[in-house]
Structure 1
Amino acid sequence: MAHPLESLVVRHTLRLPVADAVFDPAGQGEAPARQFDAALMSVGFKLSAGLLDRLSRLPGEVVAETAARTLATVRAMTGDHVGHNVYFIDFPLNVPDTLDFWVRCIAEAVADDTTRETTLAQLGTGTVDLLTLATYGRYRHTYADMLAVHDELIAASGDRLTVLHPGGTPEDEVHALYLALAGSSTPLGEEGLADLRLLAEHCVAGEQPAAIPVRENRAVVNLARLDAGADLLVDTVTDVLRLACALCDGDVSLAAPTRFRSMPRAVRRALLAALDAVVAQTPAKLSDVTAHREAFKRLGERLHPHEYPRWPHAAQVFAVARGEQRARTLDSRLEELLAAGDVVGAAQLLTAAPGRLFRALDRLLRTGRTQDERDAVTAAAEQVAARVSGRVLLSLREHLHNRAGERAEDGGSRVFVNRTGRAWVAADDRRPVLEPERKRLADLLDAETRRRLPDPGHLLIDPDVLDVALPLSGKATTAGLGVLPRGSRSAVDGELLRFFVYWKQARHTTDFDLSALMLDEAYDTLGWLSYTALTGVGGEHSGDITEAPDGASEFINLRLGAVPGAFIVPQVNIYSGEGFEEVEESFFGFMLREAEQQGRPFEPRTVRMKSDLRGPGRVALPLVFVRGDDGRWHARWLHLYLKGNPAANRVEGNRVSVAALVRGVVEHEYLTVRHLVDLLADRATATTLWDGATVPKGPVTWIGLEQPDGLHPDSVVVTPGNLRALIPA
């Protein structure tokens, strides 16, 4: 019988759980296992040799059932679970000139008795609304009709083949995934948190992580523990607030307000008891209430603390929220000291909150006017470095690297990205961090990080992973296939580059527009492809679709050798209707093909990346393609959202802001896997760059984009799916 969470294991780990208990000595599964392998290859996946062997020893009906479930999972991973139709049935062939196409649509409307009068009236004003034309923006043929005019895809050596590896028993794999996600040292993305919620419910009675350092993860685990009647894992009042948000299906990161619902009496008692215990043990933690005053006030209206006099410390939480009781915050004391010019006192104050101190180091060093003050700040950091999370250590290391060599007169700009991916640019008027302090802190951070890293034994490295940015936050990426953290670089090998977007509206007519902006080396606009420019700059647009009750797709096809300039910036603009977080489904991706490959507009074997579009803005910037000095292209991952306009967003209207954001990300130097590999190499017994073919016979620590076949079973495997495991606690 299939495990209900098997698909989560496949998505996160590319491992297929196999139950040893159902092995068939007669080996009746060999034929269906090979059929399964062939079916997987048609969508760009493949069974490893070890997995093929294990499936071959299962009963045939078990293999068939496993194949059906797994194929559904991997097809959804690539975006092949929906039909991708195109407006122009021959795309990318025979795409018309934009103006010629519009004139044809108008002529057809004039020729139609039902639309002639309204169209002529519009023509009389000198302006025609394309959305009123019957032949514009809606598919004129079925999905089957479109498939019939396209030849079968010719296989090429460059087609993607993602290998599935054998896993343990379903229960063991599910529990291992739970421990990995719950114990992650970096925040998870939206999909990761949703998966953790399911896993926590299933695994609440089993082994638990030794620690759950990320507060959002703790809230999701606490939700399962509350339902099961287990003790809650809380040590701050904010932990209880996050749990209340989880109970009401709200935002456990507290970035967005939650509408609290009425709660059963047993739940109210549990939350109030937890608040009371936290404050009773450490009254100073009442100061945390101020940061989320309004949320606590709304929560108090649902918990009715006045009905429970036995928990007086919980009542204090809501008294602070209402302003009836004062609880002085660390930030207020910090600002008071800095206003008085007491930088040394401010640094000593923050040693009680090491993470807060490290986040404030840049400001403290810039504020210090004398060498003694700056030395005191650096000494305070050295004093508490061992108590700072690995994620904060590495974040500061990246920050300091980008501050190297700056001068006050340089000016420039800064790119800000919040936890939801909303991005904006501002002028940079900060004073520089002086080189002696910057180097002293960088050495401290490297030494402390190296101290926490494990002994990797034989370190085997895929060179292609070295330019992948460290996932210092799960919010810096999105769920999907082949997705890398913001700032990562990956090679683009192929002659044809094709973007795609798919969306399905939930309640209202919704129009997404796929566009591609071309920039030169100075980030100036050279041209674009969109519904207003169907051809040019080395490519073609598949045609504008203006509604998606049953789902809709748009494509852009580019011949990389003919694209001008240095940057290709694909973007998805919301012209009208629902946002990225409101539609039933939306995702973006890109494919790579050789020049001779034809096939359908969407071919899962050629998909290199597919990521969900779930952000707060009205313009999505998933990634940018950059031409190197050698003429070769690579992808630089953005995962950004612009606020945009409420409606009618177009590539023409956001060129300046998009170029500024692209410049900020491209010119920012992200901390990559290469940095941690250099630190790990100091502790490794051997370090080998993989040649793409052979693997050692003994156990290794593998770090790469994908797990190669044939690794020793005792090897430690780190790929983008669990890259967070590299971040020390």
Structure 2
Amino acid sequence: MFQRLEPVVIRHTYRIPAPAGPAGPAGQGGTAARQFDSALMSVGFKLSADLLEHLSGLTEEMVVDTAARTLDTVREMVGDHVQHNVYFVDFPANVPDTFDFWMRCIAESLADDGSRESTLVQLRAGLVDLLTLPSYGNYQHTYDEMLAAHDELIATLGDRVTVLHLGGVLDDEVTALYLALAGSTTPLGEEGLRDLGALVGHCVNGPQPEAIPVRENRVLVNLAHLDADADLLLDTVTDVLRLACALSDGDVTLVEPTRFRSLSRPVRRALLAGLDALVAAAPAKLADVTAHREAFKRLGERLHPHEYPRWPHAADVFAVARGEKEARSFDSRIEELLGANDVTGTAQLLTAAPGKLLRSLDRLLRACRTQDERDAVVTAAEQVAPQASGRVLLSVREHFHNRKDEAGELRVFVNRLGRAWVTTDTRQPVLPPERKRLIAAMDAETRRRLPEPGHLLIDPDVLDVALPLSGRATAAGLGVLPRGSLSPVDGELLRFFVYWKQTSRTTDFDLSALLLNASYGTVCWLSYTALTQVEGEHSGDITDAPDGASEFINLRLGAVRGTFIVPQVNIFSGEGFEEVKESFFGFMLRDAEQQGRPFEARTVRMKSELRGPGRVALPLAFLRGHDGSWRVKWLHLYLKGNPASNRVEGNRVSVATLLRGIVERDYLTVRYLTELMGGRTTSTTLWDDKTIPDGPVTYIGLERPEGLHPDSVIITPENLRDLIPR
């Protein structure tokens, strides 16, 4: 029953659930396991020593079955489950000059009886549409012909090797992953929510998290509880509204309106009973209705509360929504006090809602007119800090660390979907004494909540990884880190790739790379309008993807003129990132002597899904340091762009401005938390020499090393959210 969940476990944990079965004849399982390991290495993965030993003790048939399932999973993780062709068969060799290539396409069109006349008409008018030329935008050779044009990749020590470890039995792995996702203290990304939805139906009758603090997670759990006829987990009336939205395939975040469907009688009874119990226990919760008055009115039309007189408190919810009963909201009381310039009274009222108080601090401090008021606001924040969630503490700490003393700086906004925009910060400054007090208060409370890690073992490369305060700040994929993270780049050749497959109409994605100097000015770019530069080559423009299409950009890092490299994916025409059947972006790193195909799975360092709003995707950027080394800055951003014809030339200024705002912002990182842990450890070791200690450790790194003591606590990007204190 759980077998189809095995890929979910592998993607999230890099563990293969231990196959259970009879031991095989001596040597039989071992041969198959070694062949499995060899096949994995061709796509940049390998088996840990424990996993190889375990598989060697099974029958050959079981090992082969496990290998087939796992290879399909990891190939998709790295983007090797599709065929990556290129327009120019020899890419990156023999890429022509852009103008020469366009002239060649025109000449070929003139030689074609079917297109000659239309091309002549365009030439007489002085403007030729490239998309009308038969040889432009479509592959001119087969995938096999492209493969034959390239030498085999020469393996090097610099190739990526991702180790897969031995897990427990599948049932235990599924339960553990469910508990981790459902009980996450930070919101999950799209992939996490989708996987939680797949897991919860299998785990609804098993162990449950102590708490489910994230509302969207609670919705998925409640959906399963409805199916299992179990009690709903409800804290506010808004939980019921979110659940109703989910039942109608609507927006559970309540940002977009939902068209509610007709609900079955058992479901209506469950929702009304839940509302009735909530309001009966705490009538003040009726105040939450006013924030979503229209949605509750529409929901009431589907629930028919008048048919159930035994739940009068549920009927009160809809009476408030219709304005027939008054339930003054908490926010209205706050606005009334602020309107009367009573900042001290506002802060005192907000102590009843610690999270809201902490998130309102900037506004309150700007409204203060006297030092006494400022002191009262900061004192209230210090008092409620122990009652706020760890994620709120860290978010407030990061906010005030980046709060400038003067107005006029850039202010970057990123919504929950990754849509980004920049404006000048016109707010009045928050004075340094209050900023310092608040930062110290957040630090002290966070330090108090952190566990005692014992021997702390830290991979230095993880120190500049941003804390995942929201899963929506990280795209799904392999080797992906949260927005704002920095990670080192180790290689001489950098190659970007994008793949997309349209759903129903012609769709043209364009991969481009913008190169900027230290002042964020444009140096040059690579795109379909600039196929070659000193720095590298573009693989050619593909304008239709019914069977899938790929584009690549190859860069020699030593030749780059500039400080920043900003790859981007522009939608020129057709379906959006959320409409296409599949789309993803990634990059590879190679040594100078490595050849191989345009796409080689074991050189892929990162592959992320492209699923977001807007028509321009900015997955990441590359920054050159003062010593000449390069690092990745993770962005996961989308620009609105134009409805059609987006090009790198047209968004250079907006991309540069946005990049500046992100690069110059300080994100809270793993380094921050490990420094706070410093006073609570028995010892702290930077894992420079890769020596494995004998006893248990708390290990924090980009990848789980082999040989750690079985009682060790292991934190990698896959479960980095576990670092966020509750």
- Give TM class, smaller chain: over 0.9
CA gap of 1:292–1:22, structure 2 versus 1, over 3 A, is farther
The aligned residue for residue 331 of structure 1 is 331
Deviation at 1:649, TM superposition (A): 0.8
Deviation at 1:315, TM superposition (A): 2.3
**Deviation sequence 1:479-518 (CA, Å, 0-9, x none):** 0000000000000111100000011111111111111111
**Deviation sequence 1:151-200 (CA, Å, 0-9, x none):** 11000111000001110111001100000000100000011001001110
CA gap of 1:25–1:378, structure 2 versus 1, over 3 A, is farther
The aligned residue for residue 547 of structure 1 is 544
- For residue 682 of structure 1, give the secondary structure of its aligned residue in structure 2: helix
The aligned residue for residue 355 of structure 1 is 355
8 Å contact from structure 2 (residues 447, 677) kept in 1: yes
The aligned residue for residue 319 of structure 1 is 319
The aligned residue for residue 661 of structure 1 is 658
Indicate yes or no: 2:391 matched with 1:407: no
Unmatched runs of 5 consecutive residues or more in structure 1: none
CA distance in 1, matches of 2:255, 2:620: 24
Deviation at 1:587, TM superposition (A): 0.5
- For residue 622 of structure 2, give the secondary structure of its aligned residue in structure 1: strand
CA distance in 1, matches of 2:323, 2:424: 36
CA distance in 2, matches of 1:332, 1:555: 54
Indicate yes or no: 2:504 matched with 1:507: yes
Summarize the alignment of residues 570-581 of structure 1 with structure 2, pairs less than 5 Å apart: 570-581=567-578
8 Å contact from structure 1 (residues 619, 642) kept in 2: yes
Deviation at 1:662, TM superposition (A): 0.4
CA distance in 2, matches of 1:592, 1:473: 28
The aligned residue for residue 140 of structure 2 is 140
The aligned residue for residue 377 of structure 2 is 377
User: Which has the larger displacement, 235-244 or 493-502?
Assistant: 235-244
The aligned residue for residue 258 of structure 1 is 258
Q: Which one of the candidate residues 488, 498, 506 is aligned to 2:485?
A: 488
8 Å contact from structure 1 (residues 75, 81) kept in 2: yes
8 Å contact from structure 2 (residues 19, 62) kept in 1: no
Indicate yes or no: 2:693 matched with 1:690: no
Indicate yes or no: 2:110 matched with 1:110: yes
User: Which has the larger displacement, 417-426 or 118-127?
Assistant: 118-127
Deviation at 1:434, TM superposition (A): 1.6
CA distance in 2, matches of 1:479, 1:537: 33
- For residue 535 of structure 1, give the secondary structure of its aligned residue in structure 2: coil
The aligned residue for residue 386 of structure 1 is 386
CA distance in 1, matches of 2:229, 2:596: 55
Deviation at 1:22, TM superposition (A): 3.7
Deviation at 1:325, TM superposition (A): 3.2
**Deviation sequence 1:652-675 (CA, Å, 0-9, x none):** 111111111100100000000001
- For residue 568 of structure 1, give the secondary structure of its aligned residue in structure 2: strand
Q: Please, what TM-score do these two structures have when normalized by structure 2?
A: 0.98
- For residue 685 of structure 1, give the secondary structure of its aligned residue in structure 2: strand
CA distance in 2, matches of 1:256, 1:467: 35
Look up the equivalent residue of 1:562 and give its one-letter code: A
Look up the equivalent residue of 2:285 and give its one-letter code: K
8 Å contact from structure 2 (residues 234, 274) kept in 1: yes
Q: Which one of the candidate residues 423, 426, 447 is aligned to 2:423?
A: 426
User: Which has the larger displacement, 139-148 or 66-75?
Assistant: 139-148
The aligned residue for residue 7 of structure 1 is 7
Deviation at 1:460, TM superposition (A): 0.6
**Deviation sequence 1:67-124 (CA, Å, 0-9, x none):** 0000000000000000001111111111111111111111111111111111111112
CA gap of 1:644–1:324, structure 2 versus 1, over 3 A, is farther
Percent of aligned pairs with the same residue? 75
8 Å contact from structure 1 (residues 528, 537) kept in 2: no
Summarize the alignment of residues 550-569 of structure 1 with structure 2, pairs less than 5 Å apart: 550-569=547-566
The aligned residue for residue 241 of structure 2 is 241
Look up the equivalent residue of 1:354 and give its one-letter code: P
CA distance in 1, matches of 2:22, 2:424: 64
* Aligned length, in residue pairs: 726
CA distance in 2, matches of 1:279, 1:287: 10
Look up the equivalent residue of 1:37 and give its one-letter code: D
The aligned residue for residue 77 of structure 1 is 77
- For residue 216 of structure 2, give the secondary structure of its aligned residue in structure 1: helix
The aligned residue for residue 679 of structure 1 is 676
Deviation at 1:528, TM superposition (A): 0.7
Deviation at 1:25, TM superposition (A): 7.5
Deviation at 1:27, TM superposition (A): 5.2
8 Å contact from structure 2 (residues 19, 66) kept in 1: no
**Deviation sequence 1:544-576 (CA, Å, 0-9, x none):** 111111111110100111111111100001111
CA distance in 2, matches of 1:62, 1:20: 9
CA distance in 1, matches of 2:431, 2:530: 49
Look up the equivalent residue of 2:684 and give its one-letter code: T
The aligned residue for residue 494 of structure 2 is 497
Q: Which one of the candidate residues 423, 440, 443 is aligned to 2:440?
A: 443
- For residue 494 of structure 2, give the secondary structure of its aligned residue in structure 1: strand
The aligned residue for residue 153 of structure 1 is 153
CA distance in 1, matches of 2:514, 2:321: 48
CA distance in 1, matches of 2:188, 2:382: 29
CA distance in 2, matches of 1:681, 1:248: 49
CA distance in 2, matches of 1:322, 1:92: 65
Look up the equivalent residue of 2:559 and give its one-letter code: A
CA distance in 2, matches of 1:305, 1:509: 48
Indicate yes or no: 2:395 matched with 1:398: no
Q: Which one of the candidate residues 460, 464, 486 is aligned to 2:457?
A: 460
Deviation at 1:129, TM superposition (A): 1.0
Look up the equivalent residue of 2:616 and give its one-letter code: V
Look up the equivalent residue of 1:319 and give its one-letter code: A
8 Å contact from structure 1 (residues 518, 568) kept in 2: yes
Indicate yes or no: 2:301 matched with 1:301: yes
CA gap of 1:138–1:312, structure 2 versus 1, over 3 A, is same
CA gap of 1:163–1:411, structure 2 versus 1, over 3 A, is same
8 Å contact from structure 1 (residues 527, 537) kept in 2: no
The aligned residue for residue 206 of structure 1 is 206
Look up the equivalent residue of 1:383 and give its one-letter code: Q
CA distance in 2, matches of 1:289, 1:537: 61
CA gap of 1:325–1:509, structure 2 versus 1, over 3 A, is farther
The aligned residue for residue 29 of structure 1 is 29
The aligned residue for residue 605 of structure 1 is 602
CA gap of 1:644–1:33, structure 2 versus 1, over 3 A, is same
Q: Which one of the candidate residues 611, 615, 639 is aligned to 1:618?
A: 615
User: Which has the larger displacement, 333-342 or 65-74?
Assistant: 333-342
Q: Which one of the candidate residues 471, 475, 500 is aligned to 2:472?
A: 475
CA distance in 2, matches of 1:316, 1:261: 22
CA distance in 1, matches of 2:448, 2:20: 40
Summarize the alignment of residues 644-659 of structure 1 with structure 2, pairs less than 5 Å apart: 644-659=641-656
Deviation at 1:681, TM superposition (A): 1.9
User: Which has the larger displacement, 680-689 or 190-199?
Assistant: 680-689
CA gap of 1:151–1:2, structure 2 versus 1, over 3 A, is farther
User: Which has the larger displacement, 588-597 or 334-343?
Assistant: 334-343
8 Å contact from structure 1 (residues 27, 59) kept in 2: no
- For residue 302 of structure 2, give the secondary structure of its aligned residue in structure 1: helix
CA distance in 1, matches of 2:249, 2:58: 41
**Deviation sequence 1:615-641 (CA, Å, 0-9, x none):** 011110000101111111100000000
Unmatched runs of 5 consecutive residues or more in structure 2: none
User: Which has the larger displacement, 658-667 or 18-27?
Assistant: 18-27
The aligned residue for residue 582 of structure 2 is 585
